[in-house]
Each structure stands twice: as C-alpha cells, then as structure tokens.
Amino acid sequence: MAESSVAGAVREDRLWQRHADMAKLGGTPKGGVNRQALSAEDAAARNLLGTWAKTRGFATFTDAIGNLFVRREGTDAKAQPVLSGSHMDSQPTGGRFDGMYGVLAAFEALEALEDAGVKTRRPVMAVAWTNEEGSRFQPGAMGSAVFAGHNKLDEMLQAKDWKGVVLKDALAETLKAAPAPRHEGPPGFPLDFYVEAHIEQGPRLENEKKTIGVVTAIQGSRRYIVSTTGEEAHAGTTPRAARKDAFRAALQIATAMYEATNDGGDTLRFTIGRVDVSPGSPNTVPGKAVFTIDMRHPDEAVLEAHEAKLAAIVAARAAPCSAGIERVTAVAPTIFDPRVIDLVRTKANALKLANMDMPSGAGHDAMHIARLCPTGMIFVPCERGVSHNEAENATPQDLAAGARVLAEVLAELANR
Ligand code: HGY
Ligand code: MN
Ligand code: MN
C-alpha cells in the first residue's frame, strides 16, 4: 500500500526543528536537558507547545494535575477522542528525546492531518502528561496516574520534592507561568484509544536494524523509600561501639538488597538512585539516611516476593539503628491491546518500515492509560540504547518514521 496522504504530510525537518527548539528549554552544556517537572523550564516548554498549537488553531487546556492537552476537532465533537502523547519533563541529566519525542510526534500527527486536509470523525488529541519521570516529585507517571484514577489527586498535590517544596505550590506556579484554559472537575475523561510514541531507551532496535518497535507490554515497577535513624554524634570522640551510624545501617541494608535481588538471569531490575544523609557534615556521625529503590520485573509475583525480602532485610540489618521501608508506588505489568499492536504493525509494514514486536523495559504513561482504554506504543531507535543520559540521541529519519506510523494509526482509529 502506498504512503497515504497523512504519512506523506509528516515533515521530518519540522519535527526535528521542534526538538531543537524544545531542547533549548533546560538545555545543558553537554547537549542534554534538565527540565524537571513543574520547573521554570517545564513551564517554558508548556508555553512553547501552547504557542505552536495556537498557530495551528488547535485548542489547548489543562486539568487539575496540570496535564496539558491539544485538541484537533473531529466532525463529531461528541465522539470520544483518540489521544496520543508522552511527557516533557526530564531527568536531571536527561536527553532531548525521552518523553519529548512522544509529545512532538503526536503534535506532528495533528499537523499532518491538518496539512493533508484529512477530516476525522473523532477529535484527535495530543497530551503532555505532568511529571512522568518522578525524579523531583515521587511517584512518576503522576499526571497519567491521576487521570486514570491509579493515584488520588489530593494525595499527589501534597507530594514534596527533596527540598520540601509541595507539588500543589509548584503546580500553581507553573500554571501561572504557562496559563491555559482549565478542564473543570477531577482529571479524567473518556478516551477511545491511546497510542504513545517513545524512543526505545534500549539497544534492541538498533542492534536488530529495525526502525519501528511494535510495543506489546511494559514490565511491572515498584518504588520504595528506605529510611534509617541513628544518633548524631561527634566524629572524633564517639567510639565505634557507641555509634548509631545511620549511613552505615543504610549501607548494610543496601548491600544485602543488592545481593538478594541478583536473580542470576539479570531480569529483575534493582536501582538505588538517590541517597540523602543528614546532617551531611563531615565530622558528625549521620543520624539519618534516606535512599530510594526502583524495582522492576515482567512478573508481578516476582515483584511481590522480592518486596517481602526487602522488608525482611530492613528489619534484620538496621541495628543498632532503627529503619523503615515505605512503598511509594506499584504498577502492575501492562499488556497492550492486540488491536493497537496489530494496527501499529500493519501501518509500519504498509510504510515499508522494518519492525519487530517487543516489550518495554522502561515505564511510560501508557501503563496507566491502558487501564482506561485500548492502548499501545510505538518505539523508534536511540543511539546505543542510551537514555536518562545527556548523550541520548536519535536520528531525524527515525523520529519521522515513527511519526508517520503514529499519524496513520491515529487517522485510522479516529475514523473507526
Ligand atoms: O523510569 C522510567 O522507566 C521512565 O523512563 N521514566
Ligand atoms: Mn519517558
Ligand atoms: Mn524517562
């Protein structure tokens, strides 16, 4: 089947330029981005997307958790919309494509529909979900989690960042800096389908020389906070036997956890990404230590079994300090809808793009939206699979190829 008008209207140069424009917002000297959720850089990206949308005559609005929506009308305004998007917030040393590609590919699809003069029965919408990374405020995928009812709005508004800033205040500041009409009432509205484009954040597509990943699933993920409490003491006068060193307790616990989560088959993912020790003075024995845990596996039972192991280690290894482990979030493994999987594959084949079915090791907003409506994802390669790193890179050709598949998928779904 020849390329249809929609895919043909996707413009590689425009999509690449939009990435370059967005990469300036929070751009780092090493060529990455630091655009953390609800920061000034996030507000700037929201404003830029809003300006582009306005120029194209697309309506925009936000909801009570700050998700930013762009709407292209259909012939039946009451029909449930087809939605596509991802996130614009980044890791502190993030790349210019993680999340942003999914938002810009969705926006490019709306523009391609417009440029091709394609009418759709259903409205087609793009979205930038609030705080997908969960780096500044935990948990991650927060905007989509509240939209899908996985987390409660009121609880998420009370989340605090590592400096004690309350999310509610950061959100108010962001929406003041990047104003948009507000969708009244609690977040969430009916969707017909959701399709998210994203860089793979792994090396498989590049290694297997494929352009499109037909994503079948996302592994399960859980996050925890471990805190140990000891007693501040003088580093020079306090004998070892009298110390309640909170960092040493944290180290004992963490070391045992690394051992316990080494599953031999390298399937279970266990990460301690952040450690805070207080009071953080070189000559005071730490009285408090806090560290994060990110644990992932395709099988929920394995995550459940390891959660029990982590709790047992905290209880057994804390002495002479006290310690606790709190689960911040748990998202079960996600299996995408076969109708979306098949459509992504069919459109990739029609566009003669080499493709392969594959699961996602990374988490995405699609894992929450899949519980609301038929959902799927489209991956494109990134260089050496590197992500959550300022060296993250992708090619204009691959980004445009993924946007063409997305535009075709959305056009078909919006006319079903
Ligand atoms: O952590 C994740 O999997 C996503 O990249 N935020
Ligand atoms: Mn992402
Ligand atoms: Mn990410």
CA 48 to CA 14: how far, in whole Å? 14
Q: Dig out the tokens for 87 from the structure.
A: 């996130």
Which residue, 228, 201, 198, 202, is CA-closest to 87?
198
Query: Which of 364, 367, 382 to probe ligand 1 with, by most ligand atoms within 8 A of CB?
Result: 364
Burial of 333 (0-12, 13-18, 19+ CB in 10 A): middle
Query: What is the pTM (predicted TM-score) of this model?
Result: 0.97
Ligand 1 atom 6: residue of nearest CA: 133
Report the CATH fold assignment for 5-218+333-414. Aminopeptidase (3.40.630)
Walk along the chain (416 residues) and give the pLDDT tens digit of each residue. 445 689 999 999 999 999 999 999 999 999 999 999 999 999 999 999 999 999 999 999 999 999 999 999 999 999 999 999 999 999 999 999 999 999 999 999 999 999 999 999 999 999 999 999 999 999 999 999 999 999 999 999 999 999 999 999 999 999 999 999 999 888 999 999 999 999 999 999 999 999 999 999 999 999 999 999 999 999 999 999 999 999 999 999 999 999 999 998 999 999 999 999 999 999 999 999 999 999 999 999 999 999 999 999 999 999 999 999 999 999 999 999 999 999 999 999 999 999 999 999 999 999 999 999 999 999 999 999 999 999 999 999 999 999 999 999 999 999 99
Q: What is the pLDDT of residue 4?
A: 61
Asked whether this chain's domains 5-218+333-414 and 220-331 adopt the same fold, the reply is no
| Cis peptide leading into residue 359 (ω within 30°) | no
Other CB atoms within a 10 A radius of the CB of residue 31 amount to 13
- Which residue has a Cα nearest atom 4 of ligand 1? 363
Domains of the chain, by residue range, sit at 5-218+333-414, 220-331
Distance CA 319, CA 20 (A): 52
Do 84 and 69 contact (CB within 8 A), yes or no?
no
Work out which ligand 1 atom sits closest to the CA atom of 98.
5
CATH number of the 220-331 domain: 3.30.70.360
Q: Dihedral angle at the C-alpha atoms of 150, 154, 159, 164, nearest 10 degrees?
A: 180
* Ligand 1 binding site (Cβ under 6 Å of any ligand atom): 132-133, 140, 362-363
Q: Which two tokens stand for residue 202?
A: 């792994």
Task: Please give the sequence-ordered ranges of beta strands (E in DSSP) within 219-320, or none if there are none.
Answer: 220-229, 233-234, 269-271, 275-278, 284-285, 288-297
pLDDT at 5: 85
| Measured CA distances, 17 to 21, 45, 105, 175, 357 (Å) | 6, 14, 12, 26, 29
